[in-house]
């Protein structure tokens, strides 16, 4: 039998067992059409949206290395505007960890214009100025060597923020509130107030129906922001709060007590008239202070080994987790004093029973009265303040 003859039935058997890498259609998955720089998809007009499966995308040896992150599985797009324009592009809606960078120049000699990784979750967003007649190349990749997936790329012209002027302040109707807007094209009015500069300002207004503590922040923005709060009228504003570089970052945060029926104006600007960027503003209510309470039951118990057990209840005005509890139990027995201490943590979401076994450190406990003291300490991260509660009473220890 010839070699070709005996190979044919063997190959047939392998195919039947699914051991040969041929799909039903006889074709392997292919890289996307814009996998290579030379095959960049041309963006003919704005707005523009494209979807691609980048699972099989590759990286060319001369793909540039973005300054903000390593990248792989790249695909390319090209935009040549007929007039000067500010452009924004994002990968929101994609199902994998993307990177997005913008370049000008020629293959092998590209200059980076913008770069972003993880603007919103695992997706990317950039804004850049595109000059008339100059081709801007957009490269979408994966975070380092992570896999590709379903890409959604959106590209559009960036126009001035609708709330660029005080008179056009965005009205916040309910909290929590979030806004994502570019301030690159925002301007400064002659009567804008000053808070560490007043560049590229945008405005918001909020009129609460009830008194509350409000927090506004720019965490997640990609430029050096300032944040200030005012009451009054245009040209006659009173500053309530002003912040720059909260916690040594480029983002800002302000808290203020808002009274019902009063309109509060929030101004976000860039530090010392530096460039604007992608603003992410969040405004929310800070909950009222936690009120803690603790009680001690009038009776407890003592076992044959002289270990006492006392009980009580912890109360809280709102949920509080990780409350530190500490206390002592002191009993006079003739000329001898038995003293013991106890401690631990407790979570409270309503009236919560507590119990503590106390071992005397200077002697065992006996039946009779003992002085119990218990204290609570809780750090309220929402309000950034410590809350305490304390109780003391005589407890009758019984067998």
pLDDT in tens, 158-185: 888 899 999 999 999 999 999 999 898 8
Q: What is the mean pLDDT of residues 365-373?
A: 97
At residue 17, the pLDDT reads 38
- Relative to beta strand 236-244, strand 225-233 is antiparallel
**Percentage with pLDDT > 70 across the chain:** 93
At residue 149, the pLDDT reads 97
C-alpha 320/C-alpha 316 separation (Å) is: 7
Per-position DSSP letters for 348-359, written without gaps between them: ESSSEEEEEEE-
Q: For 37-157, CATH number?
A: 2.60.120.380
Where exactly are the structural domains of the chain? 37-157, 166-286, 292-398
Token pair, residue 68, equals: 């903000």
Q: How confident is the model at residue 86 (pLDDT cuts 50, 70, 90)?
A: confident
At residue 27, the pLDDT reads 53
Q: Is pTM beyond 0.75 here?
A: no
Assigned superfamily of 292-398: Immunoglobulins (2.60.40.10)
- Identical fold, 37-157 and 166-286: yes
Please state which architecture CATH assigns to domain 166-286. Sandwich (2.60)
Q: Which residues, other chains included, contact 240 with Cβ-Cβ below 8 Å and sequence gap of 6+?
A: 229, 230, 231, 256, 264
| Mean predicted lDDT score pLDDT of the chain | 91
Token pair, residue 252, equals: 């800002």
Per-position DSSP letters for 230-263, written without gaps between them: EEEETTEEEEEEEEESGGGSS--EEEEEEPTT--
């Amino acid at each position: 039998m010839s070699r070709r003859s005996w190979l044919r039935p063997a190959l047939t058997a392998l195919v039947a067992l699914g051991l040969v890498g041929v799909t039903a259609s006889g074709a392997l998955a292919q890289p996307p059409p814009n996998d290579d720089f030379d095959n960049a998809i041309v963006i003919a007009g704005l707005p523009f949206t494209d979807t691609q499966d980048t699972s099989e995308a590759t990286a060319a040896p001369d793909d540039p290395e973005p300054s903000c992150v390593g990248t792989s599985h790249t695909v390319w797009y090209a935009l040549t505007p007929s007039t000067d324009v500010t452009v924004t592009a994002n990968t929101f809606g994609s199902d994998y960890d993307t990177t997005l960078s913008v370049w000008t120049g020629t293959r092998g000699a590209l200059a980076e214009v913008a770069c972003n990784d993880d603007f919103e979750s695992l997706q990317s967003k950039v804004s850049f100025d595109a000059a008339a007649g100059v081709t801007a190349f957009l490269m979408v990749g994966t975070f380092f060597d992570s896999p590709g997936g379903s890409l959604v790329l959106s590209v559009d012209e960036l126009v001035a923020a609708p709330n660029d002027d005080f008179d056009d302040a965005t009205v916040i109707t309910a909290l929590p509130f979030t806004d994502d807007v570019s301030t690159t094209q925002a301007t400064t009015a002659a009567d804008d107030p000053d808070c560490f500069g007043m560049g590229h300002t945008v405005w918001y207004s909020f009129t609460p129906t009830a008194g509350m503590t409000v927090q506004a922040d720019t965490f997640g923005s990609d430029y050096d922001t300032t944040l200030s709060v005012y009451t009054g009228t245009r040209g006659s504003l009173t500053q309530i709060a002003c912040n720059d570089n909260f916690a040594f970052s480029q983002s800002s945060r302000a808290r203020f007590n808002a009274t019902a029926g009063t309109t509060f104006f929030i101004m976000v600007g860039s530090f010392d008239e530096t460039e604007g960027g992608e603003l992410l503003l969040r405004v929310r209510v800070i909950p009222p202070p936690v009120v803690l309470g603790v009680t001690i039951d009038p009776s407890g118990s003592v076992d044959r080994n002289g270990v006492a057990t006392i009980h009580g209840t912890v109360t809280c005005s709102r949920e509080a987790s990780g409350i530190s509890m500490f206390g002592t139990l002191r009993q006079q027995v003739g000329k001898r004093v038995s003293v013991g201490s106890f401690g631990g943590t407790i979570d409270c979401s309503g009236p919560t029973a507590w119990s503590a076994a106390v071992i005397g450190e200077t002697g065992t406990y006996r039946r009779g009265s003992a002085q119990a003291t218990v204290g609570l300490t809780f750090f309220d991260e929402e309000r950034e303040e410590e809350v305490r509660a304390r109780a003391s009473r005589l407890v009758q220890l019984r067998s």
